[in-house]
Amino acid sequence: MTRADIPVRIRNFVFDIDGCLAVDGEPIPGAFEALAELRDRGYGFVFLTNDSYLSTAAWRKKAVALGFDFPDLEVITAGQILIQLAADRYPGGKVLLFGSDALAAEAENLGLKLLPTERGHEADVVLVARSPSFDYKDMTAGLRALRAGAGFITSSMARAIPSKDGPVPGTGATTNAMAFASRRRAVIAGKPSALAARTCLQIAGFDRRHTAFVGDDVELDIATAKRVQGFSILVLTGSTAVEDVMTLKPRLMPDLVIDSVANIPRLLLA
Ligand SMILES: [Mg+2]
């Protein structure tokens, strides 16, 4: 890769986790040291994952177990953004949530009222997150709520996600089952939506002009940065190979392509 620098205005980083900071449960060599150097030099950073199943506390624990043991480390999840958006748009509202117990607890913490499936049609908003137990009864409840005019927000439109036994349906598949049945379209809370970028910046307290988004997935991480005109850095440790970069559409071309997050401190001028 040709040598380029990270602009002086960049003071904060939003890091994708999988494929960027870690691969297959192993940290990227030199990633911890690079982040520790950023901290020492006064840069801010948060982690942003499109997962909607685990709580932010569980994700912090996972990050620490990977070796990213930073005090006050903030891990922002698509699930957290989903709940935050619902609480902002429907304060104290009745929600039909398809998601984990961890997410249900976050919803209650923010004053939302969870409905049982049988009363789903009363919902102000239908929230879709990773929900391995989602079934026909749930789909019916969602359809009825959406037909009755409830709002519709999903954590992600992922078609499938990897698991150790092979791919499993992603949240996008569950969302689209209800979207198809109801002829409604869900608002996307996670990457690559502008909402994900804005809500993440809001939670982190970062200004988009001073923030770089770093990740391995062009359609997710780079697209998220572009939605808010943020600086984008593609790393080649995950789903994108160097050959893929040549054929990218201009709208998805990252501002910078680097081999690994480990290189970041060397590219900082300030
Ligand atoms: Mg990734």
Domain containing residue 241: CATH number: 3.40.50.1000
Other Cβ atoms closer than 10 A to 153: 24
Write down the pLDDT at residue 270.
63
Q: How far is the CA of 220 from the centre of ligand 1 (A)?
A: 8
**Cα distance between residue 64 and residue 257, in whole Å:** 27
Q: How far is the CA of 46 from the centre of ligand 1 (A)?
A: 14
Question: Residues 230-250: what's their mean pLDDT?
Answer: 95
- Domain assignment of residue 86, yes or no: yes
On the question of pLDDT at 2 being above 60, the answer is no
Written as one letter, the residue type at 130 is R
Other Cβ atoms closer than 10 A to 8: 10
Between 164 and 38, the higher pLDDT residue: 38
Is the CB of residue 220 less than 8 Å from the CB of residue 17? no
Give pLDDT tens digits for 162-177: 888 999 999 999 999 9
Residue 18's closest CA among 183, 115, 203, 161? 161
Q: How far is the CA of 49 from the centre of ligand 1 (A)?
A: 8
Q: How far is the CA of 233 from the centre of ligand 1 (A)?
A: 12
- Domain assignment of residue 74, yes or no: no
Q: Which residue's entry shows tokens 């901290």?
A: 39
Q: In total, how many domains does the chain have?
A: 2
Domain boundary residue, one of 172, 188, 204: 188
Q: How far is the CA of 94 from the centre of ligand 1 (A)?
A: 33
Which secondary structure element, helix H or strand E, spans residue 99, and what is its range?
none
Q: How far is the CA of 192 from the centre of ligand 1 (A)?
A: 12
Q: Do 140 and 210 have their domain in common?
A: no
- Distances in whole angstroms, Cα of residue 67 to Cα of each of 13, 27, 204: 18, 7, 21
Q: How far is the CA of 18 from the centre of ligand 1 (A)?
A: 4
Q: How far is the CA of 24 from the centre of ligand 1 (A)?
A: 11
**Domain boundaries, position 95:** 82-188
Assigned token pair, 186: 């869900």
Q: Do 95 and 33 have their domain in common?
A: no
Q: How far is the CA of 159 from the centre of ligand 1 (A)?
A: 15
Residue 167 phi/psi, 5-degree rounding, is -65, 150
Write down the pLDDT at residue 118.
96
- Domain assignment of residue 212, yes or no: yes
Find the range with the poorest average confidence among 3-12, 16-25, 41-50, 78-87. Answer: 3-12
Q: How far is the CA of 48 from the centre of ligand 1 (A)?
A: 9
Q: How far is the CA of 56 from the centre of ligand 1 (A)?
A: 17
Give pLDDT tens digits for 258-267: 999 999 999 9
Question: Residues 65, 71, 73, CA angle at the centre, nearest 5°?
Answer: 70
Q: How far is the CA of 65 from the centre of ligand 1 (A)?
A: 18
Q: Do 86 and 184 have their domain in common?
A: yes
- Distances in whole angstroms, Cα of residue 193 to Cα of each of 22, 130, 262: 23, 17, 27
Q: How far is the CA of 146 from the centre of ligand 1 (A)?
A: 31
